[in-house]
Amino acid sequence: MERPPRTDWRGSLTPRGWGFVVAAAVALMAAQVMGRRDLLHLAVFLALVPAGALVASLLVRPSMTVLRRPHPEVVEAGQSTEVALSLRHSGLLSGRMSMTEQLPASLGTGPTFVYPGRSTGRDGASNYRYELGCPRRGLYWIGPVEARHSDPFGLAERRSRIGTGTRLTVTPAAAALPAAALSGVRGAEGIIAARIQSVPSEDDVMTREYRHGDPMRRVHWAATARHGELMVRQEESAVSPEATIVVDLRSAAFPDAGQEDAEGSESPSFEWAVTAVMSVAAHLSELGYSLRLLEPGGGPALARSPSAPEPDTIEYAGRDGVALIAEGLAAIAPEPAPGTAGFSDRLLDRLEGHRHRGPIVAVLGRTTAEQARGLASASGFAERALAVVVGPRAGSSRAAVDVLRDAGWRAVEATPRSSVQRVWAALTVAEASLDHGERRAGPGGGTRSSA
């Protein structure tokens, strides 16, 4: 994506030009003191030369256009993209220009090159290429190009910003996760979902939100009354199980927001959570799950992300779905939450509406025990309910982890220094503790687990 081109010209005298001005002032003073007309003529000449060069630099200026194409336009953090630049001008241009590509500070210093360049196309455009490293996720604007052009005598200099910028999306990098935490679950959940949907009853039926075009005969009135919105029977057989990922976007859950780590990244806890969500989404998709992303209020998790291609989408499937999730996570940020900044009834209703379709994975920021109780009952909506609670320090959400584990969740703590792979593997250890009763008593009888 590229903004409309714009050329902004500014002129100034060079040190040599200012030298002419100083010489003119000295000659003028000498002419007054000595009363010599020839010195007066010299002073006028010395003043007019740089003034004429400056006026010419402002009036005689070529029209410049720039075309910029990053390849790829969406790149994973830690990778590089190749940027192709094409510049050309119309109008009078004498000499050469020095060009510098303007980049955001986090992407480093832009390259400098000379225009016209050595590589010139048939249309007269000069073509350049450079490699750009992308260390962290975000939505960036590359450009504009800043040009410096002096007159043949080097008395005046033109500075210009050509064009504006091109958008570059840097997505979070996914870590490879071990499959042990969900081993042997996908097939079982697929069978359960198909069995419930093929023999529906009024007390045990799969429902979903009404979609435009659904026949009214499929409306499930009891579920509609319970949810407060039209719900329909989901009678078709499940082709693949679903996994729901709860993405914590509560600003209160990330108290280190606004702080920076050693690498200058804001809110290390939130950055870790985004990486974990990306890793879990890619991992579950590889296992054959379709994905649903929800935020604590029950809405689409990527609804307010400026980089999301489809912000109102909840369901994602396949590689294309993972690519959409990655792009949406590129510029996502915590959002203020209403009320007690907990988990809404709407979220629980959505989780219940897709019960037994697949695992629930919650990636949470710092959470209190009271807030955790609002989410605890959701463990009954899936055979596996997993939660990772990340905080700035170890133990900051231990009480919430205990509440979730007591309710049947497999929950662990994490900090921004934790390895995402080790945290995911720790969920398997949590399962073993639950299955064999090997719990270590903590406050309130809960099991403590951290990574």
pLDDT of res. 183 = 59
368 and 245 co-located in one domain: yes
CATH of residue 380's domain is 3.40.50
Residue 207 within any structural domain of the chain: yes
70 and 131 co-located in one domain: yes
Q: Are 148 and 114 in contact (CB under 8 A)?
A: no
Write down the mean pLDDT value for the chain.
82
Residue 75 within any structural domain of the chain: yes
Q: Which of 189, 211, 234 is the last residue of a domain?
A: 234
Residue 430 within any structural domain of the chain: yes
Of 214 and 71, the structure prediction assigns the larger pLDDT to 71
394 and 298 co-located in one domain: yes
pLDDT of res. 435 = 42
pLDDT of residue 152 exceeding 80? no
Residue 369 within any structural domain of the chain: yes
Residue 44 within any structural domain of the chain: yes
21 and 68 co-located in one domain: no
Across 250-260, average pLDDT: 72
Read off the pLDDT of residues 375-420 as tens digits, 9 standing for 90 and up: 999 999 998 999 999 998 888 889 999 999 999 999 999 999 999 9
The total number of structural domains that make up the chain: 4
- DSSP class of residue 445 equals G
330 and 185 co-located in one domain: yes
Please give the span between the terminal C-alpha atoms of the chain, in angstroms, as a whole number.
41
Across 17-23, average pLDDT: 90
pTM of the prediction? 0.75
Residue 300, strand partner residues: 294
User: Which of 88-97, 144-153, 300-309, 313-322 bottoms out in mean pLDDT, i.e. has the lowest?
Assistant: 88-97
162 and 210 co-located in one domain: no
Read off the pLDDT band of 207 (50, 70, 90). Answer: confident
103 and 191 co-located in one domain: no
212 and 151 co-located in one domain: no
Read off the pLDDT band of 445 (50, 70, 90). Answer: very low
CATH of residue 112's domain is 2.20.130.20
What is the residue-wise DSSP string for 90-136?
ES---S-EEEEE---GGG-PPPEEEES-S-B-TTS-EEEEEEEE--S
72 and 133 co-located in one domain: yes
CA angle, corner 16, sides to 93 and 57, nearest 5?
25
Residue 279 within any structural domain of the chain: yes
Share of the chain above pLDDT 70, in %: 80
96 and 112 co-located in one domain: yes
- Residue 330 corresponds to which tokens in the numbers above? 């590129």
- Residue 394 corresponds to which tokens in the numbers above? 């170890």
Burial pattern 154-185, b for ≥16 Cβ within 10 A else e, equals ebbbbebbbbbbbbbbbbbbbbebeeebbeeb
Read off the pLDDT of residues 164-185 as tens digits, 9 standing for 90 and up: 889 999 999 999 998 766 755 5
Rg (CA), the chain: 31
Residue 450 within any structural domain of the chain: no
Across 303-319, average pLDDT: 94
| Structural domain of 104 | 63-171
- Residue 27 corresponds to which tokens in the numbers above? 């000659």
335 and 398 co-located in one domain: yes
Residue 451 within any structural domain of the chain: no
106 and 20 co-located in one domain: no
